[in-house]
Amino acid sequence: MVGITSYGAYIPLYRLSRDEISRAWSRPNAGGEKAVANVDEDSITMAVEAVIDCLTGMDRELIDGLYLATTTAPYKEKLCASIVAVAADLRKEQFFAADFTSSVRAGTMAMKASIDAIKGGSAKKVIVAASDRRVPAPNSEFEPLFGDSAAAFVFGDSDVAVNIEGNYSISSEFMDIWRRDGDKFPRTWEDRFVLEEGYQKLLQQAVSGLMNKYSLTPKDFTKAIFYAPTARSHAAMARSLGFDAKTQVQDPMFATVGNTGTAFVPMMLVAALEEAKPGDKLLLANYGDGADCYILVVTEQIENIRDRRGIKRHLASKSILPNYEKYILFRDLMEWEFERRPPAASSLSWIWRDRAQVYRLHGQKCRRCGWVQFPRQRVCINCQAKDDFEDVSIADKKGNLFTFTHDERAMVPILPEIMCEIDFGDGLRLYCPMTDRDPEKVEIGMSVEMTFRNIHEGADAHNYFWVCRPIRC
Amino acid sequence: MAESMKDKIAVIGMGCSQVGELWNMDADDLIVDATYKALADAGVELKNIEAAWVGVATSCATGASISSPLQLQYIPVTRVENACATGTEAIRNAAFSVIAKVYDLVLVVGYEKLKDSGFGGLGRGGVEKPHPVYGDGQAVGRGPGHYALTATRYFHRYGLGPEEGKGLLAKISVKSHYNGFRNPSAHLRREVSLDTVINAPIISWPLGLYDCCGVTDGAAAAIICRTEDVKTYAQNHKNDYITIKGIGISIGPGWGKQSMEYDFTHWEETERATAQAYKMAGITDPRRELDLAEVHDCFSISELIVYESAGYCEKGKAKDYINGGAFIQADQPRLRGLLGDKEDEPLPMEGQLPVNISGGLKSFGHPVGASGCRELYEIYTQIQGKAELPSRQLKTPKLGMTHNQGGHPGKFMCSSLIAGLPE
pLDDT score of B116: 83
Coil/strand/helix, residue B415: strand
Q: Is the pLDDT of residue A412 over 90?
A: no
pTM summary value: 0.95
Check if A373 contacts B (Cβ < 8 Å): yes
How far is B79 from B61, CA to CA, in rounded Å?
A: 7
pLDDT band at B125 (very low <50, low <70, confident <90, very high): very low
Predicted confidence (pLDDT) at residue A71 exceeds the cutoff of 80: yes
Kindly indicate the confidence band of residue B135, based on its pLDDT and cuts at 50, 70 and 90.
Answer: confident
Pairing between β-strand A281-287 and β-strand A290-298 as defined by DSSP bridges: antiparallel
Q: What is the mean pLDDT of residues A353-368?
A: 96
- How far apart, in whole angstroms, are the C-alpha atoms of residue B6 and residue B361? 27
Instruction: Look over chain A and give the mean of its residue pLDDT values, rounded to a whole number.
Output: 96
Please indicate whether, in this complex, the C-beta atoms of B134 and A357 are within 8 angstroms of each other: yes
Helices (H) and strands (E) in chain B, counts: 14, 11
The predicted structure's pLDDT at residue B209? 97
Residues of B in contact with A340 (CB under 8 A): 118-119
- pLDDT of B127 over the 50 cut: no
Q: What is residue B281's predicted lDDT score, i.e. its pLDDT?
A: 97
Average pLDDT of A358-377?
96
Q: How confident is the model at residue B130, as a pLDDT?
A: 72
For B213-243, the pLDDT digits (tens) are 989 999 999 999 999 999 999 999 999 999 9
Residues A17-23 have a mean pLDDT of 97
**CA-based nearest distance B117→chain A, Å:** 8
Q: How confident is the model at residue A387 (pLDDT cuts 50, 70, 90)?
A: very high
pLDDT, one tens digit per residue, over A444-457 is: 999 999 999 999 99
Q: What pLDDT, on a 0 to 100 scale, did the predictor assign at position A337?
A: 73
pLDDT attached to residue B168:
98
Segment 415-434 of chain A within 8 Å of chain B by CB: 416-417, 419, 421, 423, 425, 427-432
Instruction: Give ∠ CA A222-A50-A419 in degrees, rounded to 5.
Output: 145
Read off the pLDDT of each residue in A223-230 and give the average, rounded to a whole number.
97
> Quick one: average pLDDT of B74-95?
97
Burial class from Cβ neighbours inside 10 Å (0-12, 13-18, 19+) for residue B99 reads middle
Mean pLDDT to the nearest integer, A380-395: 97
Closest partner CB to B257 (pick from A351, A431, A459) = A431
Res. A255: pLDDT tops 80: yes
User: Distance between the two ends of chain A, CA-based, in angstroms?
Assistant: 34
Pick among A358, A360, A407, A444 to test the B interface (most B CBs inside 10 A)? A407
Strand partners, B212: B299
Give the integer Cα–Cα distance in Å for A282 and A162.
9
Q: Which residues, other chains included, contact A469 with Cβ-Cβ below 8 Å and sequence gap of 6+? A: A434, A435, A436, A437, A448, A449, A450, A451
Confidence at residue B117, expressed as pLDDT on a 0 to 100 scale = 77
Q: What's the average model confidence in pLDDT over A260-270?
A: 98
For residue B197, give how far its alpha carbon lies from the nearest alpha carbon of chain A (Å): 17
Q: Calculate what percentage of chain B has a pLDDT beyond 70.
A: 96
Question: Does residue B211 carry a pLDDT above 90?
Answer: yes
DSSP string computed for A84-105: HHHHTT--SSS-EEEEEESSTT
Q: What are phi and psi for residue B96, nearest 5 degrees?
A: -60, -40
Contact check, Cβ <8 Å, B149/A373: no
Q: Does the distance separating the beta carbons of B264 and A405 come in below 8 Å?
A: no
- Tens of pLDDT, residue by residue over B64-74, are 999 999 999 99
Is A350 at the interface with chain B, CB within 8 A?
yes
Per-residue model confidence (pLDDT) at position A344: 81
The pLDDT of residue A296: 98
Pair type for strands B399-408 and B292-294:
parallel
Find the closest chain A residue to B138 by CA distance: A344
Question: How many Cβ pairs within 8 Å bridge chains A and B?
Answer: 137
Are the C-beta atoms of B417 and B88 separated by less than 8 Å?
yes
Chain A, window 104-143: residues with a beta carbon less than 8 angstroms from a chain B beta carbon? none
| Residue B248 pLDDT exceeds 80 | yes
In terms of Cβ atoms closer than 10 Å to its own Cβ (0-12, 13-18, 19+), residue B229 is middle
Average pLDDT for residues B187-207, to the nearest whole number? 97
Task: Report the pLDDT value the prediction gives residue A470, as an integer from 0 to 100.
Answer: 98
Q: Is residue A283 within 8 Å of A225, Cβ to Cβ?
A: yes
Give the integer Cα–Cα distance in Å for B29 and B27: 5
- Quote the distance between the C-alpha of residue B118 and its chain's center: 25
Mean pLDDT of chain B: 94
pLDDT score recorded for residue A339: 60
What pairing do the DSSP bridges indicate for beta strands A428-434 and A417-425?
A: antiparallel
Q: Does A227 touch chain B (CB under 8 A)?
A: no
List, as one string, the DSSP characters of A241-260.
HT--TTTTB----TTTT-B-
Give the percent of chain A with pLDDT over 90: 95
More confident residue, B137 or B134: B134
Question: Out of B133, B150, B201, whose CB is closest to A455?
Answer: B133
pLDDT at position A390: 97
B314-346 pLDDT, tens digit per residue, is: 999 999 999 999 999 988 999 999 999 998 888
In terms of CA atoms, which chain A residue is nearest residue B130? Answer: A346
What confidence tens digit (pLDDT) does each residue in B345-361 have? Answer: 889 998 999 999 999 99
- Count of CB atoms within 10 A of residue A104's CB? 28
Report whether pLDDT(B137) > 80: no
